[in-house]
A and B are shown apart, each in its own frame.
Chain A
Amino acid sequence: MSETYDFLFKFLVIGSAGAGKSCILHQFIESKFKQDSSHTIGVEFGSKVVSVGGKSVKLQIWDTAGQERFRSVTRSYYRGAAGALLVYDITSRETYNALTNWLTDARTLASPNIVIILVGNKKDLEAEREVTFMEASRFAQENELMFLETSALTGENVEETFLKCARQILTKIESGELDPERMGSGIQYGDASLRRLQRQQQTTKRPDCGC
């Protein structure tokens, strides 16, 4: 009965309170908008198997509380995350301004190789927009982030966000930039046979590696 997958990626959803992190996750997993959503306590968890580049990847997503008081609780989940969704609310400049702090946190607490995608949520509220696409796009470029604007309400770009992030990680694995075997990479092999195969390759390549 257990799901079969090639990789398991540990994902993180971070960003200021009220940016819509839980709603994005809910939309991604349940394919529907969560109406009466309230602040997340601590962390919540969700997982989904997606197909990326011909590989099935299980995403293990930790949805963190955005509220400041949960910072100490949530920080332990940063460790070993392979990818992160850095979410802000396009209708709230405050959440946009906090991005730098979040980014620093992510880069320091998680692995430095973490793949981060900047997500401007609440795209559907165009009338109340406070952060332009261009501005955020520039910020993303400067910080070497991927960028997408989403709407957890309509579901627009929600799945793409996760897929894009996963695809990037997969590319990095293939290029050797990321090593799934390394501790705290946030990546695990799903299939035992695949792992064995990989291990054999590794041992032939690097006989001194004793794992």
Chain B
Amino acid sequence: MSKETPILAVENLVMHYTTRKGDVSAIDGVTFSLEKGHSLGLVGESGCGKTSIAFSLMRLLPDNAKIKQGSIFIDGEDIITMSYDQLLKFRWRKIAMVFQAAMNALNPVYTVGDQIVEALDLHDMIKNKAEAEERVAELFELVGLDPALMHRYPHEFSGGMRQRAVIAMALSCEPDIIIADEPTTALDVIVQDRILREMKKIQQKLGMSMIYISHDIAVIAEVSDHIGVMYAGRMAELASGVDIFERPLHPYTYALMRAFPSIKGEKHDLTTLPGEPPDLLYPPTGCRFHPRCPFATDICKEKQPPFENVGGEHYVACWHPMEVHNDHH
């Protein structure tokens, strides 16, 4: 790992949604960073706060969301304290996003090309119409689309084509970071796999940083250098992909791995976790995983475990990391 300043650094981020019933603690003290040219995967069950993090990174949160604490540095600037005008210049130019529901991420009444040109125009990436078309054609080729399709409307595209178009749009302003929020969930498995591979290739070619978000650890593992496992608004474990797979420390990570069949084809019993993710209106005390954790003790109920480096860039927030249990068995 290089020691240069990371392109993205999230420090102790706390975010709440205000609802009629009370505050929902959606993100509670998340810290991580991302080096230039690297990729990070965020994984967890739905409602664990991974999408909330993605939207926080772009400051695209809904009106009822409030960032209570923490900072998000992108290329050395804190986007939380940034002015709105500055933020507009930052979005897409520094950090772009491939949305979860790519099917609906394109505006149905404008041509796909126009929607990409709009972003280019906004960030002064082009001077005239000819240049715009040239650039869109280039992007279309990069993501494997026929440039002639740029004058078509989204409804004339298939699901996979739309996904590629959305990726082309994310690439258009050459951002430093791209967030891919469940980029392929709506597609069939073969298309999914191909698109992910191509994204990885493009990322390496252009030297961008990438954040993949998925509930499927197998998908994440294939494309990410580092993996962060999230549970109930907190980061449970963060380590290199190899470490997560070979040496999972948090019981939740362990359970997740057992819940998903390995891509390498090793057969595991699909042990599912008992219980459900907690209601974040009333989050559990101490470690938020303790009600479902087979190894929970009194301290887990009382005190929140610190998110600590246990050596070799491997972070975990657990009072009883897994290796200890493994030793016992």
* A and B pair up: no
Question: Which B positions have Cβ atoms within 8 angstroms of A?
Answer: none
Chain A residues packing against B (C-beta within 8 Å): none
